[in-house]
């Protein structure tokens, strides 16, 4: 959801290949029942996009693309006015990213890499990772991958508890929830 509550961003996983979509939905139209005009726009969003978060300022929409092994950044304004120029950055992360959360005021993205074996040559019974990405560097077209935090098997959903400063990570195959502090970023 955009910070002002006017737009909802949704992904369609799609079949394998470049069939995934990022949809922009007008919330007021959808709530009024005008479903045939609620979809403002849709754009290609890599191979099997899964999660969406919006930057705190509402200017950037971040998407994990599972089978693209990437974190994608879209300009919220361009999604509506110039969708062919909406993609602003693509950061290679770990294998088959799913979960996504922004921390440090939106300056850092934490990406849960599921590595669950959907792509040939992937999948593991070893612990996976959470990629730590500088969103500022990504949007400046600089090296953005800052490192990784070890995780359990198939890290799926990730969130940040502002009250405690802790990241909570649910690992599907490990049947566990991990807690770790918000990564310190220089």
CATH number for 176: 2.130.10.10
Q: Give per-residue pLDDT as tens, 79-119.
A: 999 889 999 999 999 999 999 999 999 999 999 999 876 66
Between the CA of residue 179 and those of 49, 108, 159, 166, 176, what are the distances in Å?
25, 17, 10, 6, 10
Q: What is the mean pLDDT of each run of 10 residues along the chain (186 residues)?
A: 96 76 95 90 93 98 94 97 94 95 96 80 75 97 95 91 92 89 75
> Which helix or strand (DSSP H or E) is residue 41 part of?
strand 39-44
The answer to whether residue 1 is domain-embedded is: no
Note whether residue 2 is domain-resident: no
Single pTM value for the model = 0.92
Measured CA to CA, the distance from residue 150 to residue 179 in angstroms comes to 11
Is 143 inside any structural domain? yes
* Number of structural domains the chain divides into: 1
For residue 168, tell me if it sits in a domain.
Answer: yes
Asked, for residue 186, whether it belongs to a domain, the answer is no
Has residue 98 been placed in a domain? yes
- Is 66 inside a domain boundary? yes
Note whether residue 134 is domain-resident: yes
- Percentage of residues in the chain having pLDDT higher than 90: 71
Burial class (CB in 10 A: 0-12, 13-18, 19+), 37: exposed
Per the structure, the complete domain to which residue 148 belongs is given by 7-181
CA distances from 98 to 38, 112, 184 (A): 26, 6, 22
């Amino acid at each position: 959801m955009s910070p002002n509550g006017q737009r909802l961003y949704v992904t369609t996983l799609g079949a394998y290949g470049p069939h995934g979509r990022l949809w922009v939905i007008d919330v007021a139209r959808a709530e009024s029942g005008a479903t045939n005009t609620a979809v403002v726009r849709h754009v290609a969003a890599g191979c099997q996009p899964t999660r969406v978060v919006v930057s705190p300022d509402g200017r950037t929409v971040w998407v994990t693309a599972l089978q693209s092994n990437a974190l994608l950044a879209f300009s919220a304004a361009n999604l509506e006015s110039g969708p062919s120029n909406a993609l602003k950055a693509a950061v290679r992360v770990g294998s088959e990213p799913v979960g996504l959360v922004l921390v440090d005021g939106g300056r850092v993205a934490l990406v849960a890499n599921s590595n669950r074996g959907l792509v040939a040559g992937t999948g593991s019974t070893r612990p996976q990772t959470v990629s730590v990405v500088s969103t500022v560097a990504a949007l400046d077209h600089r090296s953005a991958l800052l490192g990784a935090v070890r995780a359990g098997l198939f890290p799926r959903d990730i969130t940040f508890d502002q009250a405690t400063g802790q990241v909570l990570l649910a690992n599907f195959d490990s049947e566990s929830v991990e807690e770790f502090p918000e990564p310190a970023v220089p």
